[in-house]
């Protein structure tokens, strides 16, 4: 046993022939992440060990790559040998059938069925929902300002993002404030909050890393997590059942992502359990990431007033009023795209991604055995001064068409790359862009004495601000 969990992993790590930070027994280098600092660890490792180094997580060795050329090879050119994300264990239902977790042919089948759900024409249907959630956001901002209250921009963007994902992926038409609060609370168990006890944090960690241990311990500790998951699964199953009945009876159904998932796939349809799994992964992968993207963009604009003014000018010249904004207008706004691209470079909500190695192979002289994980340090790549001069500065001009033509496409990975990239990218960008247009039509943001500069960041699941983001607002009309 000692050999299996302590000695053998260390021997395997050494055999990779790469520099590595010294691992601790059993947990490996997990502690190097420190509290909330996945992003800092990557920068430190790269400084000490270069662009290619090894790291051990529990008993699994991993090779971390910051070189764009090798990443292109892994993520695209040699995709058939790196087609899956790495997972330590088979997850518990409903997490086991998500498109992120599925492997090989099972993944391909589900991904192919889902891809049409995220096309431009299908996404048009979520525009009214995003508009509604943004109107509520603006109302909250103005009310708080009138009362002289400070509003944390990160939490407010979270409310907006949760409303959109519940409405689109789960197809839930929120019937009352009470139902919305109950659902939001249940969905919130997947995410870290400041008032969570150490035990809850540990359980959240165990559910994905050691599901079998979690399964036995959690019911003894009150079952908060399982109860919330069961509640969400039940609500989603009810929605699916109702939609299927309506479809059979020829009644009209709301055309949202849930409906597309029910109808998608021709002969090869998703089962109810598969649909529930996808709704859950859309919540997990799409809620906090989008919340961070929107709040970081607002923060970057407040602390860079010239960029904010330039964006407001673009918005005013393209959109005559809030109601006329549509998908085509949004796509034509180039400065908006530059601002969001630069925000996602500076503050990538997903700081890392990974790949599993299917068959042992050698790329550029590096040997990748089939029992390791490939780590892709997105944050370190985005902050590499060789790729991005003055990496800590917010400069949307890095993303003009001319500047983009000179960038390495694998030096910018906020949504990953290749066939395993983020399936929700278009939805996330649509949501952030549309929300920003509507918000900046009504208010502009200013840094105030409570605004933290520079922003302190924390990262476990996603890169988020450590403290509340407090900003002042100025009504535009």
Nearer to ligand HEM, 9 or 286 (CB): 286
Q: Is 417 helix (H, G, I), strand (E, B) or coil?
A: coil
Q: What's the CA gap between 300 and 307, in Å, rounded?
A: 9
Contact present, 255 and 305 (Cβ < 8 Å): no
Q: Which two tokens stand for residue 142?
A: 């103005």
Shortest Cβ 23–ligand HEM spacing (Å)? 24
Measured between alpha carbons, how far is residue 114 from residues 94, 162, 247, 264 in Å? Answer: 17, 21, 19, 7
Nearer to ligand HEM, 184 or 246 (CB): 184
Contact present, 470 and 150 (Cβ < 8 Å): yes
Residues 6 or more apart whose CB falls under 8 angstroms from that of 60 comprise 9, 28, 86, 88, 371, 372, 373
CB-closest chain residue to ligand HEM:
416
Shortest Cβ 104–ligand HEM spacing (Å)? 12
Q: How far from the centroid of its chain's Cα atoms is residue 380's Cα?
A: 17
Nearer to ligand HEM, 398 or 420 (CB): 420
Residues 6 or more apart whose CB falls under 8 angstroms from that of 366 comprise 18, 52, 63, 65, 70
Shortest Cβ 352–ligand HEM spacing (Å)? 8
Measured between alpha carbons, how far is residue 164 from residues 131, 160, 263 in Å? Answer: 10, 6, 21
Shortest Cβ 345–ligand HEM spacing (Å)? 11
In terms of Cβ atoms closer than 10 Å to its own Cβ (0-12, 13-18, 19+), residue 249 is exposed
Shortest Cβ 165–ligand HEM spacing (Å)? 7
Nearer to ligand HEM, 9 or 97 (CB): 97
Nearer to ligand HEM, 94 or 416 (CB): 416
Shortest Cβ 3–ligand HEM spacing (Å)? 33
Q: Which two tokens stand for residue 194?
A: 């400041």
Measured between alpha carbons, how far is residue 227 from residues 96, 182, 189, 237, 370 in Å? Answer: 18, 12, 10, 15, 38
Nearer to ligand HEM, 79 or 472 (CB): 79
Shortest Cβ 118–ligand HEM spacing (Å)? 8
Residues 6 or more apart whose CB falls under 8 angstroms from that of 223 comprise none
Site residues, ligand HEM (CB under 6 A): 85, 99-100, 111, 169, 281-282, 285-286, 289-290, 293, 349-350, 353, 414-417, 420-424, 427-428
Nearer to ligand HEM, 135 or 341 (CB): 341
253 appears as a binding residue in the annotation: no
In terms of Cβ atoms closer than 10 Å to its own Cβ (0-12, 13-18, 19+), residue 109 is middle
Residue numbers belonging to the annotated binding site for heme:
422
Residue numbers belonging to the annotated binding site:
422
């Amino acid at each position: 046993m000692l050999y299996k969990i302590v000695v053998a992993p260390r021997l395997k790590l050494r055999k990779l022939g790469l520099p590595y930070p010294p691992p601790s027994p059993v947990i490996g280098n997990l502690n190097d992440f420190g509290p909330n600092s996945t992003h800092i660890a990557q920068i430190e490792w790269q400084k000490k060990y270069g662009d290619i180094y090894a790291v051990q997580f529990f008993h699994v060795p991993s090779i971390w790559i910051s070189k764009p050329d090798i990443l292109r090879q892994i993520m695209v050119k040699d995709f058939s040998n790196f087609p899956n994300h790495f997972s330590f264990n088979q997850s518990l239902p409903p997490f086991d059938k998500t498109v992120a977790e599925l492997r090989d042919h099972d993944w391909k089948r589900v991904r192919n069925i889902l891809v049409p759900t995220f096309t431009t024409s299908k996404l048009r249907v979520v525009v009214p929902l995003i508009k509604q959630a943004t109107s509520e956001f603006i109302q909250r901002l103005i009310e708080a300002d009138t009362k002289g209250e400070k509003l944390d921009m990160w939490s407010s963007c979270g409310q907006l993002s949760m409303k959109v994902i519940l409405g689109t992926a789960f197809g839930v038409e929120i019937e009352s404030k009470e139902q919305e609060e109950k659902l939001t609370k249940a969905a919130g168990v997947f995410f870290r909050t400041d008032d969570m006890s150490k035990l809850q944090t540990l359980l959240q960690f165990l559910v994905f890393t050691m599901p079998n241990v979690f399964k036995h311990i959690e019911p003894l500790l009150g079952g908060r997590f399982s109860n919330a998951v069961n509640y969400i699964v039940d609500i989603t199953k009810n929605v699916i059942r109702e939609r299927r009945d309506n479809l059979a009876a020829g009644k009209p159904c709301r055309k949202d992502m849930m409906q597309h998932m029910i109808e998608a796939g021709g002969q090869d349809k998703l089962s109810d359990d598969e649909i529930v799994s996808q709704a859950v992964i859309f919540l997990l992968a799409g809620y906090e990431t989008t919340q961070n993207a929107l709040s970081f963009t607002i923060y970057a604009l407040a602390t860079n007033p010239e960029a904010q003014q330039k964006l407001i000018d673009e918005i005013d010249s393209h959109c005559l009023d809030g109601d006329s904004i549509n998908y085509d207008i949004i796509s034509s706004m180039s400065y908006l795209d530059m601002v969001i691209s630069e925000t996602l470079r500076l503050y990538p909500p997903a700081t890392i991604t990974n790949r599993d190695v299917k068959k042992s192979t050698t790329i550029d002289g590096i040997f990748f055995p089939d029992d390791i994980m490939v780590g892709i340090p997105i944050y370190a790549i985005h902050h590499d001064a060789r790729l991005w001069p003055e990496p800590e500065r917010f400069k949307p001009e890095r993303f003009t068409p001319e500047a983009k033509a000179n960038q390495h496409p694998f030096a910018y990975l906020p949504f990953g790359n290749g066939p395993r990239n983020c399936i929700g990218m278009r939805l996330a960008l649509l949501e952030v862009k549309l929300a920003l247009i509507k918000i900046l039509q009504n208010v502009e943001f200013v840094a105030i004495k409570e605004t933290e500069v520079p922003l302190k960041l924390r990262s476990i699941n996603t890169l988020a601000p450590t403290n509340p983001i407090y900003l002042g607002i100025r009504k535009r009309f």
